[in-house]
Copies of this chain bind each other. A is one copy, B any other.
């Protein structure tokens, strides 16, 4: 019996979005009582609802709204966890336009309350995932406002971020990366 020739096994599933991968990982963390972290529902502006007599209320007209916070939050080791997940097809850098102003302001506010805030960034091209601290993201964001670059070089993310390699359970062990940024 011989070991397969591929030295590094990548457990990532090319059909899965980063969001689905994180939701699955969060389910694992919840079941193992390691953390309670959920994705927030998508905010919807409801315009019109039907209330049929013998069945469930039916929303007939509604629109997607821009989120005013990040997508994920919860609790881990008593600490408040807050992050957003972003995928990019870009190979050499992460474009800052992936974030809305409101999300960055939300992170700034959570940091003031000593929350643990970060972004999970996936380069879909080669299925690499990194945790980037909100403080680093905010540095680049603020620089951009005064004429700085519109993206963060991948090389920088590799250096200042924390790699989150795929594994089996959980698929994306990002709380290990969180451990490394909690002082």
Contact = CB atoms under 8 A, between A and B. Distances in A.
Interface of A: 30, 33, 35-36, 38, 40-44, 56-64, 68-69, 73-82, 106, 109-110, 112-115
A41 B43 contact: yes
Nearest to A42: B41
A43 B64 CA distance: 12
B114 A75 contact: yes
Given A42-B44, A61-B59, A77 B110 contact: no
B109 A77 contact: no
B113 A75 contact: yes
A36 B110 contact: yes
A112 to B, nearest CB: 6
